[in-house]
Structure 1
Amino acid sequence: MKFIYYTLFLFLVSITAFGQEINSDETMAKVKIEAEKEHYDKALALIEPLRAKYPENEDIQIYTGRIYSWKKDYNTAVKILLPMCDRANPNIEALQALINVYFWLEQYEKCIVYCDKYLVIEPNSVDVLKTKVTCLEKLNRDEEALEIIERASLADNSTQAFRGIRTLIGRKAKNAVSVSYLNISTSNPGQSPLHYGYAEYSHKFSKSAIVGRANIGNADNETQMLFETDFYQTFKNKSYLYANAGISTGETIFPVAKAGLEYYFKPQKKFDFSLGARFMHFENDDVTLLTGQLAYNTGVYTIAYRPYYDTSNELFSHVLSLQRVNEEKERIIRLELQYGNVPYLYLYNGLSSPLTSYRAGLQYQHRIGNSFFVRPIFLYEYEEYIPGEYRNRFNVQLILTKRF
């Protein structure tokens, strides 16, 4: 008889425990639904009684910590997760949750500590390695970050996961050198090609940058040079000022002297504006160009309009461009449509007659490795070379850049 009583008692206890387990599972399912909807207070109202009832259940504890972190109550999340992470045998799920909390808090040193604890258990976790490398980059410990990337890349034969971080580190390079060659040819009627080239060196400071450039031009069996410098100054509101000045060794291929100033500012997230002027002194004339830009950024694409107003000739020129950028690969494709007497780079004719052109141009930038760039440019012009007469003009340029 006692056996029957004991059997019934154990059966009832099992049924009760099973019912409680089902109840806790159902509650957790509801908690997750509310959390996915970002109804964090409702989710916490459901899970907190479970956490109090089953304090030994670490899955419930960890998910509660995650909800507090999603709610941005980071201090409570840390308080819940930390005991499961600081013991001799840390819970790997709690470590992952705590890593996220410290990363969102921008406490990168602490985040690295718990990344290391996680990597002792799972040394090949790409997600945690990526988080650690990102923290190192934020702390400007770039050499350590690159060493980890190299080891991880060798392990899985891929750099895909770390491309964005490599790019961020590469952009911190203070120095760059560039060389360029530009060939200008014409047809119907044709003339001897014009040749231009430059070599430049740029250096970035904390809030400014300076560029020194030596240009050389050859036209009509004559060679001249233009020496110029660019200066960029950034400000706290993310605007910046661009200044340019140059002087040449001749009077025909380049301006005798030139100067420019332009201020770029961003009053709204997706819009960029600028206002500026260019001044060029030629042997027999002075040219002043007023310019500016209105650009709309969609993230990947940027569409921009830039006018030029030649105050001497009272002539407007226009440039409309569409540019696609891959930030991770630092790859650029740019299409330009131009009308008028638009200056091509540092070239502008100091002619008294307002000659105009129709132009279409395409340029492409490709990064090779981490720090070498190739940028080919092609621009076709239907050019008015004397009043009322037009010809074809082809501008082909190649720019090579190495940053370090």
Structure 2
Amino acid sequence: MKFLYYTIFLLFLSPVVLAQENTIDAVMEHARREVEKGNYDAALSLIEPLIAKFPENEDVKIYSGRIYSWKKDYTTSITILAPMADRTNPSPDALLAIINVYYWSEQFDTCINYCDRYLAIEPNSLDVLRIKVNCLEKLNRDEEALAIIEKVSITDNSTQAFRGIRTLIGKKDKNAVSASYLNISTSNPGQSPLHYAYVEYSHKFTKSALVGRANLGHVNGDTQMLFEADYYQTFSKKNYLYVNGGLSTGETVFPVAKAGVEYYFVPHKKFDYALGVRYMHFEADDVTLLTGQLAFHTGSNTIAYRPYYDTTNELFSHVLSFQNTNEEKERIIRLELQYGNVPYLYLYNSLTQPLSSYRVGIQYQHRFGDSFFVRPVFLYEYEEYVPDEYRNRFNVQVILTKRF
């Protein structure tokens, strides 16, 4: 007889439970569609009656907490999620949701605590490990972040998920040393190759940077040096000032003295721009160059135009560049088109008459490991070396940089 009663009870109960589940599923599906459209308030108006009707349903509560976080009402989201995340046996889904809330609201210390609670349940969760590493990086706890990355790379045999964080940490390095060699050769007619090299050391401070550079040039059997320094000062809103100065040991290979200043203005939407002046003192003449830049950024690509105006010789020169940058890998591919008498690095002649040059150049930067860079540069010129007479000029350079 009891079996008959139980059977009748279950037959009566099953349609009720099924109807409740169908009701919840239908409402939740409707709410998700509203969320996809960005209608968070509409979604909440659908879900909140479900919470009142089915208070034991944690999935509905967690989803409502997520919606409040998506609409950036972090306080309400935490109020909803915390009871399910803070109990002795926390809900993993509630922990995941509240981790995102604390990360998005930039409460990184608290976020790390909840990451540790979740990792006690799922120690190999790459998503949570990545969030924890990001929090550590934001708090400048870089050694702890790198230790986690190394551990994951050993156990998972992959650091793909952490490459961007590695790059961010690497860019915080304060020091760098670079060495470069430049060879300039000509043909039709040819002359003895010109040789240039430099070594430099740079150090970053909180809002500034200082670079010291020693240049060596060997031209027509004569060897001279140029010692120079660069200074960068960052101001608020991402604008900064660049200052350069240098003195040489001779009068023919390099300018006797050089100086420059350029101000980079606050970027405006996808555009940034700069204005500057360069001055070079030669043995028999002085050269003043007015310059600037207008750049347009679209995704990982940049198109930039930089003119030079030689006030002494009344010459205009132009550089149009196209650059693709992979921020995560710190990889750069750059193409330049030049016309006129554009200064290549520290090289610039004290001209007494206008001569034309057409140039096309390409350079590529590749990072090996976390902090070693190789940048080869090639620039071809069709150079007017005397009026109405042209020759080929090849500039080949390689730059090696170690950051630490």
TMscore range, shorter length: over 0.9
Aligned pairs for 1:5-404 (under 5 A) are 11-404=11-404
How far, CA to CA, are the matches of 1:368 and 1:212 in structure 2? Answer: 24
Q: How far did residue 19 of structure 1 move?
A: 1.9
Q: Which amino acid aligns with 2:247?
A: I
In 2, the alpha carbon distance for the partners of 1:180 and 1:361 equals 17
CA shift in 2, pair 1:9/1:184, >3 Å:
closer
Give the C-alpha shift of residue 16 in structure 1.
Answer: 2.7
**Counterpart of 1:89 in 2: which secondary structure?**
coil
Aligned mates of 1:243, 1:3 — CA distance in 2: 92
Distance 1:83 1:5, change over 3 A: closer
1:17 and 1:128 map into 2 onto residues whose CA distance is 35
Using the TM superposition, give the Cα deviation of residue 21 of structure 1 relative to its aligned residue in structure 2, in angstroms.
2.3
Separation in 2, partners of 1:132, 1:280: 51
Worse-superposed segment, 26-35 or 367-376: 26-35
Q: Quick one: structure 1 residues 205 and 3, their matched pair in 2 at CA, closer, same or farther if it must change by over 3 Å?
A: closer
Counterpart of 1:83 in 2: which secondary structure? helix
Aligned length: 404
CA gap 1:11/1:310 in 2 versus in 1, 3 angstroms: same
CA deviation after TM superposition for structure 1 residue 9, in Å: 5.8
With over 3 angstroms needed to count, the CA separation of the structure-2 counterparts of 1:89 and 1:356, relative to structure 1, is: same
Q: Deviations over 1:148-187 (max 9, x none)?
A: 0000111111111100000000000000000000000000
Read off the aligned partner of 1:39 and give its amino acid letter.
N
Deviation at 1:6, TM superposition (A): 7.8
Report the CA distance shift for 1:181/1:10 in structure 2 as closer, same or farther (over 3 A): closer
Question: Which consecutive unaligned segments of at least 5 residues does structure 1 have?
Answer: none
Task: After TM superposition, give the deviation of residue 78 of structure 1 in Å.
Answer: 0.3
1:247-295 deviation per Cα after TM superposition (whole angstroms, max 9, x unaligned): 0000000000000000011341210101000000000000000000010
Q: 1:31 deviation in Å? A: 1.7
How far apart are 1:25 and its partner, in Å? 1.9
Q: CA offsets, 1:191-237, max 9 Å, x none?
A: 00000000000000000000000000001111000000000001102
Secondary structure of 1:252 counterpart: coil
Whether the 8 Å contact between 2:177 and 2:201 is mirrored in structure 1 is yes
Structure 2 CA distance for partners of 1:98 and 1:392, relative to 1, 3 Å: same
Normalised TM-score (structure 2) = 0.97
Conserved? CA contact 2:238–2:267, under 8 Å: no
The Cα shift of 1:27 comes to 1.5
* Aligned-pair CA distance for 1:372: 0.3
The SS at the match of 1:328 is coil
Residue 4 of structure 1 deviates from its aligned partner by 7.7
Quote the offset at 1:299 in angstroms. 2.1
Q: Structure 1 residues 26-35 or 119-128, which shifts more?
A: 26-35
Give how far 1:11 is off.
3.3
- The one-letter code matched in structure 2 to 1:119 is L
2:102 & 2:96 partners in 1: Cα distance?
10
Moved >4 Å (runs of 4+) = 1-10
Q: Distance in 2 between matches of 1:67 and 1:392?
A: 65
What RMSD, in angstroms, separates the aligned Cα atoms of the two structures? Answer: 1.5
Identity level (%): 73
Corresponding residue SS for 2:265: strand
How many Å separate the matches in 2 of 1:17 and 1:142? 52
Measure, in 1, the Cα distance between the counterparts of 2:4 and 2:113.
57
SS at match of 1:266: coil
Counterpart code for 2:171? R
2:130–2:161 Cα contact (<8 Å) kept: yes
Shift of 1:13: 3.8
What is the letter of the counterpart of residue 88 of structure 1? T
Task: Evaluate the alpha carbon distance shift between residue 13 and residue 209 of structure 1 in structure 2; reply closer, same or farther with a 3 A threshold.
Answer: same
Q: Counterparts of 1:281 and 1:267 in 2: how far apart (Å)?
A: 33
TM-score (norm 1): 0.97
Per the TM alignment, residue 17 of structure 1 is displaced from its structure 2 partner at its CA by 3.0
Distance 1:251 1:38 in 2: 67
Structure 1 Cα separation of the partners of residues 401 and 10 of structure 2: 79
Q: Secondary structure at the match of 2:321?
A: strand
Residue aligned with 2:191, SS:
coil
